[in-house]
């Protein structure tokens, strides 16, 4: 009977086909469906089944055909199972970041070290002393969990933590500059990642922005002339994600601090990335550190937890004790505070900085950034044959030199030598672009998506971030690659 239902366009047989689609109850009673209910639960199976039957009805109405094997249990089971697998997988999924940008904001920035993961698990699954002073047996302050470490590592008098660096800047401005003026150089009115713009944060924080100098040159006297009774503080923003070259001038932190203090004003530095390690010593482009800003006289320094620091998303504010105390009293601190998971991860990551010798081994962000070219090339050679095999008939695969970016607001001009697999479509000229897109899509749609980038007519997978521990999973994904 099923085959006689196909390929006929008369209205009568269309309604006959519709009537022949099995009922929900009938499919539910199939043994294979019962097994799916055991695995996924009744409601998810029921909604997947209803969606499948609706799809079948649409198919009949549209094309007047019904698959001949519609009553076959295995066929229904396979379709249901794949629908259930798709809908039951978590929304936030691991991916392979082979884009060449190590701290990729869209891909979750820093990867946590195992010690941080374990600390987070403990904090999540057991009661903990988040706001409890175990020595005194009384109510505690969550910032005291990380304050001594930050004091030790940066020389700061005090520290507090909020949701991210944008929140840190916002909270500090709102606390110290409400209805007053904050003086910033025109060359530092930056936008970071599309949604953080210094002028916008400033106005939302209730401060008036007093811009001084010009885009390329700002001098100490520009600041000096702008100071008035309305001034709340001087602010320096680390222009981390772009560089102005040529005829430029900016005022050194020391000079700004000196000027601010002469007028009894605080001087704040928004460092953005702010690593605690000496990157130049590790062979990386050097980045200013919070401890340097403090030594230069900054009263407050803000920086991110999940950029070069290599920790969880957080905004860290360090500096003068009286100013930090004011910031913590701001009612908005309560709205911007972080949870126990963040403290647990941040504490574990900060502890790694106590042992600088083993930092590049223990902290994934620095391990990836300092990975040797030889090691990256070896990773590329190891997987080249399997990738080439998967792309047979579609593309050629070769190992080529490339350059990785640090990402997350680090200078885009600071590139790290790396190696990538370049996948070049066999078709050249017309049709090449669409093949390239298909290749990119096939990698992206794997169960654990592999993300690279298209450059110069090839799909490139930067091997810097493919570590040995993940190679096995990478290979198993490549084996599932399907190009149509």
Ligand X SMILES: *Cc1c(COP(=O)(O)O)cnc(C)c1O
For ligand X, the binding residue among 33, 111, 304, 360 (CB under 6 A) is 304
Q: How far is the CB of 123 from ligand X (least distance, A)?
A: 21
**Residue 200 CA from chain centroid, whole number:** 23
Query: How many of the chain's residues bind ligand X (CB under 6 A)?
Result: 15
Alpha-carbon distance 140 to 131, whole Å? 4
> E-assigned strands of 109-195?
132-133, 138-139, 158-162, 181-185, 191-192
300 binds ligand X (CB under 6 A): no
Determine the interface stretch with ligand X among 82-90, 95-103, 265-273, 278-286 (rule: CB under 6 A).
Answer: 265-273
Stretch that binds ligand X, among 48-56, 233-241, 289-297, 320-328 (CB under 6 A): 233-241
Q: Which of 192, 316, 460, 461 binds ligand X (CB under 6 A)?
A: 192
Is residue 196 within the footprint of ligand X (CB under 6 A)?
yes
Among 33, 174, 175, 240, binds ligand X (CB under 6 A): 240
Strands 415-425 and 395-405 turn out to be antiparallel
Distances (CA, A) of 43 to 28, 39, 379: 11, 11, 45
Q: Would you list the DSSP string of 208-264? A: EEEEES-SSB--HHHHHHH--TTEEEEEEE--TT----SS-B---HHHHHHHHHHTT
The residue whose Cβ lies closest to ligand X is 272
Report the residue from 165, 185, 275, 477 that binds ligand X according to the rule CB under 6 A.
165
Residue position matching structure tokens 């680090």: 410
Interacting span for ligand X (CB under 6 A) from 29-37, 124-132, 135-143, 267-275: 267-275
98 in Cβ contact with 462 (< 8 Å): yes
Dist CA 313 CA 157 (whole Å):
23
Task: Give the CA radius of gyration of the chain.
Answer: 29
Which one, 143 or 446, has the nearer CB to ligand X? 143
- In the complex, the smallest distance separating the C-beta of residue 352 from ligand X, rounded to whole angstroms, is 19
Q: Pick one of 266, 288, 290, 409: the residue that binds ligand X (CB under 6 A).
A: 409
Using the minimum distance from each CB to ligand X, give the nearer residue, 234 or 387.
234
By CB under 6 A, name the one of 177, 315, 407, 425 that touches ligand X: 315
**Minimal distance in Å, beta carbon 143 to ligand X?**
18
Q: How far is the CB of 153 from ligand X (least distance, A)?
A: 18
- Contact between 103 and 410 (Cβ < 8 Å): yes
CA distance 430 to 436: 11
Selected from 100, 272, 407, 425, the binder of ligand X by CB under 6 A is: 272
293 lies in the site for ligand X, by CB under 6 A: no
Q: What three-state secondary structure class fits 271? A: strand
The continuous run of DSSP H or E covering 367 comes out as helix 364-369
Does residue number 172 form part of the binding site for ligand X (CB under 6 A)? no
Measured at the CA of 244, the angle between CA 240 and CA 250, to 5 degrees, comes to 80
Q: How far is the CB of 235 from ligand X (least distance, A)?
A: 11
Question: Nearer Cβ to ligand X, position 315 or 452?
Answer: 315
Residues at the interface with ligand X (CB under 6 A): 164-166, 169, 192, 196, 237-238, 240, 270, 272-273, 304, 315, 409
């Amino acid at each position: 009977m099923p085959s006689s239902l196909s390929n006929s366009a008369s209205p009568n047989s269309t309604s006959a086909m519709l009537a022949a689609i099995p009922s929900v109850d009938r499919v539910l009673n199939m043994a294979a469906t019962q097994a799916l209910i055991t695995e996924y639960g009744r409601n998810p199976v029921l909604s997947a089944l209803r969606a499948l039957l609706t799809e079948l009805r649409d198919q009949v109405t549209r094309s007047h055909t019904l698959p001949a094997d519609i009553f076959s249990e295995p066929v229904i089971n396979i379709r249901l199972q794949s629908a259930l697998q798709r809908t039951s997988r978590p929304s936030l999924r691991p991916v392979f970041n082979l884009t060449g940008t190590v701290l990729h904001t869209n891909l979750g920035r820093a990867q946590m070290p195992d010690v941080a993961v374990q600390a987070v698990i403990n904090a999540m699954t057991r009661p903990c002393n988040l706001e409890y002073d175990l020595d005194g047996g009384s109510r505690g302050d969550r910032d005291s969990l990380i304050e001594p470490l930050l004091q030790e590592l940066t020389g700061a008098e005090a520290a507090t933590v909020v949701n991210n660096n944008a929140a840190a800047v916002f909270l500090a401005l709102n606390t110290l500059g409400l209805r007053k003026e904050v003086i910033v150089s025109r060359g530092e009115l930056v936008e970071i990642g599309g949604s953080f713009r210094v002028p916008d944060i400033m106005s939302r924080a209730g401060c008036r922005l007093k811009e001084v100098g010009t885009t390329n040159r700002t001098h100490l006297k520009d600041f000096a002339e702008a100071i008035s009774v309305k001034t709340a503080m001087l602010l320096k923003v680390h222009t981390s994600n772009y560089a102005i070259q040529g005829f430029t001038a900016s005022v050194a932190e020391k000079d700004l601090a000196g000027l601010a203090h002469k007028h009894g004003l605080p001087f704040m530095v928004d460092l953005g990335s702010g690593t605690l390690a000496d990157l130049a010593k590790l062979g990386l482009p050097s980045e200013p550190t919070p401890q340097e800003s403090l030594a230069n006289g900054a009263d407050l320094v803000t920086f991110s937890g999940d950029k070069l620091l290599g920790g969880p998303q957080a905004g860290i504010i360090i500096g003068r004790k009286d100013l930090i105390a004011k910031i913590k009293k701001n009612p908005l601190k309560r709205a911007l505070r972080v949870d126990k998971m963040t403290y647990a991860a941040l504490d574990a990551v900060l502890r790694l900085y106590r042992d600088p010798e083993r930092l590049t081994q223990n902290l994934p962000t620095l391990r990836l950034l300092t990975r040797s070219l030889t090691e990256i090339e070896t990773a590329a050679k190891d997987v080249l044959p399997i990738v080439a095999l998967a792309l047979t008939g579609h593309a050629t695969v070769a190992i080529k030199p490339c350059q990785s970016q640090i990402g997350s607001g680090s200078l885009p001009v600071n590139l790290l030598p790396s190696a990538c697999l370049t996948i070049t479509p066999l078709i050249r000229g017309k049709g090449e672009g669409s093949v390239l897109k298909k290749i990119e899509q096939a990698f992206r749609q794997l169960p654990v998506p592999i993300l690279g980038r298209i450059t110069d007519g090839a799909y490139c997978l930067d091997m810097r971030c493919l570590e040995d521990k993940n190679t096995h999973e990478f290979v198993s994904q490549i084996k599932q690659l399907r190009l149509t």
